Amino acid sequence: MQNELNVIGIQADLAWEDSEKNIAFFEHQINLLKKVDLVVLPEMFTTGFTMHPEKVAEKMNGKSVSWMKKMAQKHSFAICGSLVITENNNYYNRLVFVHPSGKIETYDKRHSFTLAGEDKVYTSGTHKLIVAYKGWKICPLICYDLRFPVWARNTENYDLLIYMANWPVTRIKAWDTLLKARAIENMSYVVGVNRTGKDANNYEYSGNSLVVNYLGEALSSLEKNEVGIVKTPLKMSHQNEIRKKLGFLNDMDSFKILD
């Protein structure tokens, strides 16, 4: 078990439906990194939050997932981000988690953003993913999932909760508040990675990516519209000590989610 996990989130102004340009940007940023265990990219990091999957969808053996595998193996870290995947005649907003070994785990976004019509074009997932990596249990989720605390409830005793997003500036206070709420209620580190810039639909994104500890305290953050990274070493021993001392997770309600 590795006590300290060095996590980096890359905040970017995504080029609209231009996977080559976005991948080139992220590769440049990644090549500058040092001492990294896990890299987190935004939601739909290759395209922006598009409702036209027929234009950009890739298969799991396509160029973007292959690039993620290349980065993970070259730099000996794990990398995760969501992108548009087509499979079995369906489109998915799929989170892909690639281990340094090249092993791939996936999570399909459960909560489709109906306000933008995501539910009309993408198929929702039904299963939560808990990744085992370097002795850490990691729960990666996507954007709108942040508004639904039951889905994120720490019944698996995970150590790190991740949200990747295209969260607009008009509701950025909710982003900041809910990331901290998820950290406090689950007594878990939370990493939230958002995009910046303006998309083809004229929606603005301010970023405001954030790393929060198990008490809701910000450990690393980015200012509005800043392109850059959030980074901090997460220490499992500190989190476990506070969990044991306070014992809040022992008192949680038991429940079962029905599909």
Active site residue ranges: 43, 109, 143
Owner of token pair 């295209």 = 166
Distance from the Cα of residue 255 to its chain's centroid: 25
Residue 234 CB neighbours (<10 A): 23
Q: What is the DSSP letter of 159?
A: S
Distances from the Cα of 122 to the Cα of 66, 221, 253, angstroms: 22, 31, 32
Cβ neighbours of residue 160 closer than 8 Å, sequence gap 6 or more: 5, 7, 136, 137, 138, 139, 188, 189, 190, 191, 234
Give the C-alpha separation, 77 to 75, whole Å: 6
Residue 57 identity: A
Residue 102 CB neighbours (<10 A): 11
Structure tokens given for 178:
């809910």
Q: Which of 14, 92, 96, 79 is nearest to 47 (CA)?
A: 14
Kind plus residue range of the DSSP H or E element containing 88: none
